[in-house]
A and B are shown apart, each in its own frame.
Chain A
Amino acid sequence: EAQVTQNPRYLITVTGKKLTVTCSQNMNHEYMSWYRQDPGLGLRQIYYSMNVEVTDKGDVPEGYKVSRKEKRNFPLILESPSPNQTSLYFCASSLSTGTYEQYFGPGTRLTVT
């Protein structure tokens, strides 16, 4: 089954404790992206990657890191989480961003206390 998986699905953590949210896709997609969704603000792009070892900042990259060592994986790293990073996070992949459909993972609900 073609899918994007994210782990964990739910996470409660404390300020400053480094965490990683994994994202994996099995569709051989080149393009992957991370978004956060907050009430009233919609989905905002954090980082994206056009291929292995090619990543770039989205609209809200501060406080996040990513890596793309393999085509299928695109982890999101919070080196020192803060309460303003409490959000719903989605990973997505697509063949390209032209007219190609974005496939989203199920989301990770993160709470930073």
Chain B
Amino acid sequence: RKEVEQDPGPFNVPEGATVAFNCTYSNSASQSFFWYRQDCRKEPKLLMSVYSSGNEDGRFTAQLNRASQYISLLIRDSKLSDSATYLCVVNRGFQKLVFGTGTRLLVSP
């Protein structure tokens, strides 16, 4: 079992739709959590950190459920420019970041 698991997708949604991704992690000692965005074979860029209380940044909302060991990302009012791969990232401590394989999102007109 992978330490961080994501549905690879692709998720095909029309513009304006709401879409949600989940990510599960296996190491209960994981300390911090992030969502990164990666456009085709380019460098990953931080989308948002994920806090225990949940956090929102414009159309994006991230949630953490420590009891069930998953994090989620909700995108409202999808734009064409949201098409990308979304990487779930977990800091398991000891300076080790673990990346999920990513969930691909395709937003169509």
In the complex, the answer to whether A33 meets B43 with C-beta atoms within 8 Å is: no
| Stretch of A11-19, A37-45, A70-78 at the chain-chain interface | A37-45
B45 cross-chain contacts in A, Cβ below 8 A = 104
In the complex, the answer to whether A97 meets B97 with C-beta atoms within 8 Å is: yes
- Which bracket fits the contact residues of A? 20 to 34
In addition to A42-B4, A42-B100, A97-B96, 16 A-B residue pairs with Cβ atoms within 8 Å of each other are A35-B99, A40-B101, A41-B101, A42-B99, A56-B95, A90-B44, A97-B91, A97-B95, A99-B49, A102-B97, A104-B43, A104-B45, A105-B43, A107-B42, A107-B43, A109-B41
Q: Which residues of A contact B (CB under 8 A)?
A: 31, 33, 35, 40-45, 48, 50, 56, 58-59, 88, 90, 97-99, 101-102, 104-107, 109
Minimum-distance CB pairs A-B, first 4: A104-B43, A42-B101, A43-B99, A101-B46
